[in-house]
Each structure stands twice: as C-alpha cells, then as structure tokens.
C-alpha cells in the first residue's frame, strides 16, 4: 500500500478534537499509529474532511505497519469548549496588563506635542444619542427572549441539576458524572435532575442601579439602600432608556472637571425646559409564565424558535456595542458586575480567599460573557436517540442553552455556534469503534 492510497482512505474520516486543543482553527499535525489488524476504514464514516500526509513525513511504504504516520488536518468546524475556571482561580484580564502598559506608553509617545483628544460623552455625563435606539432594541430583545423561552419550555424538556448549575436539554438528563455540587462525592458525580426554569437558562446577573453614574462610589454602608436590577437593564438605562420606576439623572450640558475625580454640573438654567420625547420603540413587558400559551404545532414551534434565536443574537450584539461606549466592570473572583467606570465599595465578595481582601471585589474590565453568560449544554446530535452514551463523551459537542433549545425546537443552527457543536463529527456506534478513532 503506497502513501497515495492510504491518504485516500483517510479522506472521509474526521478526527474529533480533544479537550486540550487550541481554539484557533489552524493546521495542526497529528500522529496516527497504524495498529495491527486494521484493514479497512470504509466503515468509519465520520463526516467529510481532508487529511493529508505531512510533507516532511517520508515513510517507506514497506514500513507502514511499524512506523507512525504524521498527517495534517484543518477542521474549522470543530473547536474547543470554553474553559472551565475553578472558583479558586482569578479571571484573566481581557487584555494582559503588559499589553495595556505597552499601549499606554505608545499612546503617550504619539500624543506628545499633539492636541488632546475630545473626551467621550459618557465621561462628560452625556448620553450618546446614536446609541439610544440600540439600547431600546436590547431591552426589548431581552423581554422577547424571556417570554419566548417560557413558551418553549412547555414543549422542549429542559432539566437542571438540584446541586450544581449544570442543565441539559432533552427528555432525560445526560449520564455524565460531572456534578460538582454539595454531596457530589457521595453521589459519585451523578446529577440529580429536575425541571428547569428560565433562571436556569438565563443566568440572573444583577447590578446596582445608579441615579448618577458620575457620582461617588457606593460605600459599604449603603449597599442595602440602593436597588439592584438586572445588569443588562442597568446598561440600557445608562444608555438612554427611561424607566419611571428607575429614575436616572440626564444632563444636557457636559460637566466641568475640577480635578481627576472632582467635577461640578454646568448651569442649565438658561436652557428651555426639556420636552418629553417619544421613545424610538415602545417598551415591551414581561408576562407571567401562567399566561403563556405554548405553540400548537411543529411549524409554529419552529417559527417561535427562530424568533427566540434572533432575540438572543440581537441582545448580545447590541449589548456588545453598548459596552464599547459605556464601561462595565466585573469582579475577578466572583460574578459581581457593576455598570460604570469604577466598581462599588460594597464588601460582599465571598469568593476564594475573600478574607484576605476583606470582602472587597477585584474590579477589572468585563467582557460580553460576564454580562450575558452563555450557559453551555451538551448538544444532542440525534433527536431520535436523545440518551447520550457516557463512553462517547469526547465525540459530543456543546452549545449555549438558548441555542440548543431553539435548535431542538426546529431552528437552523447559526454559523458561529457550529465549531463547538461538532456537527461534522460522526458518533461511533460502539465503544469498540470509538477506540479505532485517533
């Protein structure tokens, strides 16, 4: 058997990525040992891919049974799962400190003998008017997402573990022993499944509501007197959404800076009284779960799933645009989020070694997943066989819970979630067949 014929046999085989592979879909070198008794690969139909021999691997055809072949594979459709961070680990900075310092020195060098750049409107106490419609869209997308999920939960079964934060979309929970909750050692990691609710799918991240986002930081003594609302809603309020139950200060003139942390409000007495402005779009309201009517047929369920998936993408996409203009901070040790330039001073961090920090949060710049965390679940590749096999865990993919619910309800799979769902990786029929895969 020559190298060309061997390469043709490997052309229809996809290698599933392991847990310690790189996130970028670059060309990687893998080793494939040719074991004894392996005569044909036609029975292993694992998707369509192209595997080629490494150009530096010059192996005589007569020594194929003794040596190992080095092949190259490029699978942009397969990517690693998001890394699980232990509660004892600190979140990594979005941009390393070394890079931030290097960029600051470069900016200082380039701005020498140059006029100062204008301060962005949020730092002057103003609202970016072009982002007001975006804020309303994010607010309505969140309400639409919650209302639609309450309808889909009545037709798509979703299970949640009673002891940990893991959930599974399917008629029965998955058999993987991955529970890290209370008493997991006595249960040997087996989950105790129950019916899930919307709060299990959309992680409730709350933040303090600020009447004046340029005011003084919230002290520890006032932590109970200030209301807490969902962080996404607080971001929308600061971006221009007006809610009567959560008033906020709107300035029509920029503040006058006295020092780095001191300012005074400009005189607005000569300005005419502001006229009530109509919102760009009317605000939607959340409905109770008892009033939700589930879809009647499969076609209506698929349309509802498409609408839910579109609302999920609209909320994340719009929130990402708002975060680029309005700063969001997150604690590096716990999920606490603060919408503003500087985090609050409430000493309510209960993460690992909080005694050494006296309960103070370690504030750093937040990313989109800190504000809207996507809770990943196992993807069920075959709806006719929803029960996953424990021994074939490395072949299954993962997706955010909202995406998996919509896909099982009939929606099309978005392109950005296909890499982690491993749609092109074939699932072996038995453990013996899985052992034949490299």
On whether the CB atoms of residues 350 and 359 are closer than 8 A, the answer is yes
**pLDDT tens, residue by residue, 6-19:** 444 444 444 444 44
Least confident of 204-213, 346-355, 380-389, 407-416: 380-389
Compute CA distances 64 → 6, 29, 31, 145, whole Å: 10, 18, 13, 56
Give the pLDDT band (50/70/90) at residue 47.
very low
Share of the chain above pLDDT 70, in %: 82
Least confident of 129-133, 351-355, 390-394: 390-394
What pLDDT score does 438 carry?
Answer: 58
What pLDDT score does 405 carry?
Answer: 95
User: Which of left, alpha, beta for 61 (phi over 0: left; psi -120 to 50: alpha)?
Assistant: alpha
**Cα-flanking dihedrals φ and ψ of residue 31, to 5°?**
-110, 135
SS (H, E, C) 405-436: HHHHHCCCCCHHHHHHHCCCCCCCCCHHHHCC
**Cα-flanking dihedrals φ and ψ of residue 369, to 5°?**
-70, -20
Residue-wise burial string across 259-291, b where 16 or more C-beta atoms lie within 10 A, e elsewhere: eeeebeeeeeeeeeeeeeeeeeeeeeeeeeeee
**Cα-flanking dihedrals φ and ψ of residue 122, to 5°?**
-60, -35
What pLDDT score does 289 carry?
Answer: 84
Q: Is the pLDDT of residue 53 over 60?
A: no
What pLDDT score does 76 carry?
Answer: 61
Least confident of 221-235, 256-270, 339-353: 256-270
Hey, how many other C-beta atoms are within 10 angstroms of the C-beta on 109? 8
**pLDDT tens, residue by residue, 271-285:** 887 777 788 889 999
Give the pLDDT band (50/70/90) at residue 315.
very high
On whether the CB atoms of residues 74 and 14 are closer than 8 A, the answer is no
Compute CA distances 336 → 116, 200, 230, 371, 401, whole Å: 34, 17, 11, 9, 22
**pLDDT tens, residue by residue, 295-311:** 888 899 999 999 999 99
Least confident of 146-150, 188-192, 269-273, 293-297: 269-273
On whether the CB atoms of residues 224 and 346 are closer than 8 A, the answer is no
Tokens of 283: 């605000």
What pLDDT score does 406 carry?
Answer: 95
**Cα-flanking dihedrals φ and ψ of residue 277, to 5°?**
-95, 140
Average pLDDT for the chain: 81
Least confident of 23-27, 188-192, 399-403: 23-27
Separation CA 150–CA 144 (nearest Å): 10
On whether the CB atoms of residues 327 and 365 are closer than 8 A, the answer is yes
- E-assigned strand segments in 130-248: 158-161, 167-169, 193-195, 206-208, 228-230
Tokens of 286: 């959340």
More confident residue, 86 or 212: 212
Structural domain boundaries in the chain = 3-73, 97-152+202-371, 158-196+374-421
**pLDDT tens, residue by residue, 97-132:** 999 999 999 988 888 888 888 888 888 888 999 999
**pLDDT tens, residue by residue, 74-99:** 556 677 777 877 888 888 999 999 99
């Amino acid at each position: 058997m020559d190298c060309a014929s061997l390469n043709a046999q490997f052309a229809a085989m996809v290698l599933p990525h392991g847990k310690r592979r790189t996130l970028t879909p670059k060309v990687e070198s893998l080793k494939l040992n040719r074991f004894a008794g392996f005569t044909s690969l036609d029975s292993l139909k694992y998707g369509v891919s192209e595997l080629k021999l490494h150009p530096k691997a010059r192996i005589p055809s007569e020594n194929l049974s003794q040596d190992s072949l080095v092949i190259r594979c490029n699978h942009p459709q397969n990517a690693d799962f998001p890394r699980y961070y232990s509660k004892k680990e600190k979140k990594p900075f979005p941009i390393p400190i070394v890079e931030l310092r290097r960029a600051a020195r470069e900016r200082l060098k380039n701005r020498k003998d140059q006029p100062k750049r204008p301060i962005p409107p949020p730092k002057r106490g103003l609202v970016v008017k072009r982002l007001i419609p975006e804020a309303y869209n994010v607010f309505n997308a969140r309400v639409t997402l919650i209302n639609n999920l309450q309808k889909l939960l009545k037709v798509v079964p979703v299970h949640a573990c009673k002891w940990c934060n893991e959930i599974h979309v399917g008629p029965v929970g998955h058999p993987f022993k991955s529970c890290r909750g209370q008493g997991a050692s006595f249960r040997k990691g087996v989950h105790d499944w129950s019916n899930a609710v919307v709060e299990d799918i959309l992680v409730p991240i709350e933040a303090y509501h600020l009447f004046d986002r340029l005011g003084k930081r919230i002290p520890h003594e006032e932590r109970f007197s200030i209301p807490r609302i969902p962080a996404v809603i607080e971001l929308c309020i600061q971006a221009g959404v007006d809610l009567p139950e959560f008033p906020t200060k709107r300035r029509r003139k920029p503040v006058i800076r006295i020092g780095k942390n001191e300012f005074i409000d400009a005189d607005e007495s000569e300005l005419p009284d502001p006229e009530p402005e109509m919102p760009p779009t009317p605000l939607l309201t959340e409905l109770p779960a008892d009033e939700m009517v589930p879809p009647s047929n499969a076609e209506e369920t698929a349309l509802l799933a498409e609408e839910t998936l579109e609302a999920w993408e609209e909320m994340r996409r719009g929130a990402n645009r708002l975060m680029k203009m309005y700063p969001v901070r997150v604690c590096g040790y716990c999920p606490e989020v603060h919408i503003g330039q500087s985090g609050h001073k409430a000493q309510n961090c209960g993460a690992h070694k909080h005694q050494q920090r006296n309960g103070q949060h370690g504030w750093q710049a937040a990313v989109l997943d800190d504000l809207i965390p996507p809770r990943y679940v196992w993807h069920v590749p075959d709806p006719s066989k929803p029960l996953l096999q424990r021994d074939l865990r490395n072949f299954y993919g993962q997706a955010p819970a909202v995406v998996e619910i919509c896909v099982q309800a009939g929606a099309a799979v978005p392109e950005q979630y296909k890499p982690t769902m491993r749609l092109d990786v074939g699932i072996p029929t038995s453990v013996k067949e899985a052992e034949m895969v490299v």
